[in-house]
Structure 1
Amino acid sequence: MPRKPELGNVQVYPNRPLTERDTTGYVLQFYCPIRGKRIRRSCGTRDRREARSVMRECSRRLLDGSYVRSGGAITALDEQSRPTVADAAISSGPNCETDEKSWEWCYQKYRHFRTSRTKKDTFKHSRSRLGIAERIFQGYFDDRGGNGKLLVKDVMTLEMVEYLQERLLAGDECRYDSRSPNTVNSMTASVMAFVRFYAKREWIDRVPDVERLSVDDVMKGRPITGEEFDRMLAVTHKVVGKDETAAWQFALRVVWFSGFRVGDLMDFHWEDERHIRPVWPKQSGVFPTITVPSSQKNGKVQEIPMLPELDEFLSQVPEGQRTGWIVDPSPLHCQVKGVAVWFQPCRDDLRAWAKRYSNLEIAAACGVTETTVRNWLKRMKIRRSREFKVSTGSIPAEAIAEARSRSERGTGSVVTPRSQRLTKDRVGRIIALIGEEAGVVVRTEDERTSTRVKDASAHDIRRGCAQRLINAGVSAETLKVVMRHADFATTEKYYGATRSAQAAASEVRQKMTAEAPTDALVGRLVGRKEKAPELNAEELLKLKALLERL
Structure 2
Amino acid sequence: MDTASRISYFQAQLIKNNARPATVARHLRHLKSVLNWGKDVGLINRVPKIKILKQLKGAKLMRGRPLTDEEFQRMLDAVPEVVGDDLAEGWKYFLEGLWWSGLRVSEAINLYWDRRDRLSVDFSGEYPMFRILAEFEKGKWDRILAMAPEFAKFLERTPIEDRSGRIFEPAGISIERQRTHFSKRGTLIGKAAGIVVETDPETGTKRYAGLHDLRRSFGERWAQRILPQQLMELMRHESIETTLKFYVGADAMRTARVIWGHRVTSEERPSS
Aligned to 2:119: 276
Separation in 2 of the partners of 1:508 and 1:245?
40
Aligned to 2:229: 477
| Deviation sequence 1:353-387 (CA, Å, 0-9, x none) | xxxxxxxxxxxxxxxxxxxxxxxxxxxxxxxxxxx
Q: Which runs of 5+ in 2 are unaligned?
A: none
The one-letter code sitting in structure 1 at the alignment partner of 2:232 is K
Specify whether residues 443 and 210 from structure 1 end up closer, same or farther in structure 2 by C-alpha distance, changes over 3 A only.
same
| Deviation sequence 1:456-489 (CA, Å, 0-9, x none) | 1221101111222234x22223222211122222
Contact kept, 8 Å, 1:251 with 1:329, in 2: the verdict is no
Aligned to 2:92: 249
Separation in 1 of the partners of 2:120 and 2:237?
18
Q: Which of 74, 81, 104 pairs up with 1:238?
A: 81
Separation in 1 of the partners of 2:110 and 2:31?
31
Contact kept, 8 Å, 2:232 with 2:243, in 1: the verdict is yes
Aligned to 2:212: 459
The one-letter code sitting in structure 2 at the alignment partner of 1:330 is A
Does residue 1:320 correspond to 2:161, yes or no? yes
Question: What is the deviation of 1:165?
Answer: 4.7
Q: How many residues align?
A: 268
Does residue 1:229 correspond to 2:69, yes or no? no
Question: What is the deviation of 1:290?
Answer: 2.1
Aligned to 1:293: 133
Matches within 5 A, 1:102-181: 137=1, 155-157=2-4, 161-162=7-8, 165=11, 169=15, 171=16, 181=21
Question: What is the deviation of 1:184?
Answer: 4.8
Matches within 5 A, 1:421-440: 423-440=178-195
Separation in 2 of the partners of 1:499 and 1:313?
28
Question: What is the deviation of 1:186?
Answer: 5.0
Q: TM-score, normalised by structure 2?
A: 0.81
SS in 1 for 2:67: coil
The one-letter code sitting in structure 2 at the alignment partner of 1:237 is P
Specify whether residues 500 and 475 from structure 1 end up closer, same or farther in structure 2 by C-alpha distance, changes over 3 A only.
farther
Question: What is the deviation of 1:222?
Answer: 1.0
Contact kept, 8 Å, 1:255 with 1:458, in 2: the verdict is yes
The more displaced of 208-217 and 313-322 is 208-217
Question: What is the deviation of 1:505?
Answer: 7.8
Contact kept, 8 Å, 2:7 with 2:50, in 1: the verdict is no
Contact kept, 8 Å, 1:330 with 1:421, in 2: the verdict is no
Does residue 1:260 correspond to 2:260, yes or no? no
Does residue 1:495 correspond to 2:247, yes or no? yes
Separation in 1 of the partners of 2:145 and 2:238?
13
Does residue 1:220 correspond to 2:63, yes or no? yes
After the TM superposition, which parts of structure 1 deviate over 3 Å for at least 4 consecutive aligned residues?
A: 159-169, 178-200, 419-422, 450-453, 498-514, 516-519
Separation in 2 of the partners of 1:445 and 1:425?
23
The more displaced of 507-516 and 213-222 is 507-516
Contact kept, 8 Å, 2:170 with 2:178, in 1: the verdict is no
Contact kept, 8 Å, 1:445 with 1:451, in 2: the verdict is yes
Identity over aligned residues, as a percent?
25
| Deviation sequence 1:28-79 (CA, Å, 0-9, x none) | xxxxxxxxxxxxxxxxxxxxxxxxxxxxxxxxxxxxxxxxxxxxxxxxxxxx
Aligned to 1:208: 49
Aligned to 1:70: none
Q: Which has the higher contact order (CA 8 A, sep 6+)?
A: 2
The one-letter code sitting in structure 1 at the alignment partner of 2:112 is H
Contact kept, 8 Å, 2:196 with 2:209, in 1: the verdict is yes
Specify whether residues 289 and 438 from structure 1 end up closer, same or farther in structure 2 by C-alpha distance, changes over 3 A only.
same
Q: Which runs of 5+ in 1 are unaligned?
A: 1-136, 138-154, 332-416, 520-526, 528-550
The one-letter code sitting in structure 2 at the alignment partner of 1:467 is E
Separation in 2 of the partners of 1:168 and 1:422?
22
Contact kept, 8 Å, 1:330 with 1:420, in 2: the verdict is no
Question: What is the deviation of 1:306?
Answer: 2.4
SS in 1 for 2:134: coil
Question: What is the deviation of 1:304?
Answer: 2.2
Q: Which of 124, 128, 143 pairs up with 1:302?
A: 143
Separation in 2 of the partners of 1:317 and 1:251?
13
Larger Rg: 1
Contact kept, 8 Å, 2:199 with 2:206, in 1: the verdict is yes
| Deviation sequence 1:481-511 (CA, Å, 0-9, x none) | 2111222222122112148986698679879
Contact kept, 8 Å, 1:270 with 1:323, in 2: the verdict is yes
